[in-house]
Amino acid sequence: MTKTAIIIPARYNSKRLQGKPLLKVCDKPIIQWVWERAVQVKSADEVIIATDNQEILDCAKAFGANVEMTSENHKCGSDRIVEVAKRHPDFEYIINLQGDEPMINTDCVEEVIRLIKEDKTVDISTLLAPIKEDEDVDDPNMVKCVTDVSGFALYFSRSKIPYERNLGIAKFYKHIGIYGYRRDSLFKMTELEQPEMERAESLEQLRALYNGMRIKTSIVEYKAIGIDTLEDFNAFKKLVESK
């Protein structure tokens, strides 16, 4: 039997916020907030937290999660996910769910799974959302994407794409960092060399595009709450406590 698995990479040594998965809001660590959302996804057969830290491992076990230890030497979350996927040959569809989005919408995860399952020509699936604030278009931390008429990604960039030679025509979409992979596509992508454009933009998905892999997107109405900095964490904490 083939399975669909959500794998949540959770590393301790984040450059901008050390020990991020263990920070608590309402007495729950961030990684538990994410895991509780993930286990609500009906299309997923398994949810696994993949970590490189014993404290995160122990924490995840304490709140009942399925968690596996991975190498400390991985350069990115995709490599950590590959290590776990190799231990589970029945995982045919693998969802990379970031461990720092505690309010992730389960419908969005369901959509990523639908995209990767319904079309055998799709290697990777992901989501986009309309950019509604003008200043966000020029923000390099907000990754933009342009697609073809069928929703396949043409390019991702930290720059403003498309360039507005003629103002008021273009619509802009931000990338939401949830990925769905076919098993063989995940392994293929992580084994490829980084092309120049990936190194320039620091965007791993460009490696897939550069090598002719097909990334299917879907546009959703979703405002991500990612936690990258202490300011992000405090904003999330304030939001939760206000409710």
The yes-or-no verdict on residue 225 having pLDDT over 90 is no
Amino acid symbol at 223: K
Answer with the residue of higher pLDDT: 157 or 18: 157
The pLDDT mean for the chain works out to 93
- Residues 209 and 137 grouped into a single domain: yes
The yes-or-no verdict on residue 75 having pLDDT over 80 is no
pLDDT computed for residue 195 by the predictor: 96
Taking the C-alpha atoms of residue 239 and residue 243, their distance in angstroms, rounded to an integer, is 7
Q: CA-CA-CA-CA torsion for 79, 84, 90, 93, nearest 10 degrees? A: -40
Cβ pair 172, 144 in contact under 8 A? yes
- Residues 94 and 140 grouped into a single domain: no
- Residues 84 and 163 grouped into a single domain: no
Q: What CATH number is associated with residue 143? A: 3.90.550.10
How crowded is residue 10: how many other Cβ atoms within 10 Å of its Cβ? 30
Q: Is residue 133 part of a domain?
A: yes
Q: Is residue 114 part of a domain?
A: no
- Residues 4 and 100 grouped into a single domain: yes
- Cis status, amide bond into 162, omega within 30 of 0: yes
The yes-or-no verdict on residue 136 having pLDDT over 90 is no
Cα→Cα distances 197→20, 156, 223, 225, Å: 29, 10, 27, 27
pLDDT computed for residue 182 by the predictor: 97
Taking the C-alpha atoms of residue 110 and residue 13, their distance in angstroms, rounded to an integer, is 30
Q: CA-CA-CA-CA torsion for 34, 36, 42, 44, nearest 10 degrees? A: 60
- Residues 209 and 142 grouped into a single domain: yes
Sign of CA pseudo-dihedral 207, 100, 233, 224: positive
Cα→Cα distances 115→45, 185, 197, Å: 16, 14, 26
Q: What is the pTM of this model?
A: 0.93
Model confidence pLDDT, tens digit, residues 27-74: 999 999 999 999 999 999 999 999 999 999 999 999 999 999 998 888
Cα→Cα distances 6→39, 48, 98, 198, Å: 9, 6, 10, 25
Looking only at Cα atoms, what is the longest distance across the chain?
Answer: 56
- Residues 11 and 40 grouped into a single domain: yes
pLDDT computed for residue 133 by the predictor: 86
Number of domains in the chain: 2
Percent of the residues in the chain that have a pLDDT greater than 90, as a whole number = 77
Cβ pair 199, 214 in contact under 8 A? no
Answer with the residue of higher pLDDT: 114 or 229: 114
Model confidence pLDDT, tens digit, residues 76-126: 878 899 999 999 999 999 999 998 889 999 999 999 999 999 999 999 999
| Mean pLDDT (whole number) for 122-151 | 94
- Residues 94 and 137 grouped into a single domain: no
Q: Is residue 85 part of a domain?
A: yes
- Residues 173 and 87 grouped into a single domain: no
3-state secondary structure of 160: coil
Taking the C-alpha atoms of residue 200 and residue 5, their distance in angstroms, rounded to an integer, is 31
Q: Is residue 80 part of a domain?
A: yes
- Residues 205 and 156 grouped into a single domain: yes
- Residues 200 and 217 grouped into a single domain: yes
The yes-or-no verdict on residue 241 having pLDDT over 90 is no
| Mean pLDDT (whole number) for 184-207 | 95
- Residues 14 and 62 grouped into a single domain: yes
- Residues 36 and 125 grouped into a single domain: no
Domain with 125, as residue range(s), is 121-177+186-223
Q: Is residue 190 part of a domain?
A: yes
| Mean pLDDT (whole number) for 183-212 | 96
Tokens of 88: 């589970």
The yes-or-no verdict on residue 189 having pLDDT over 80 is yes
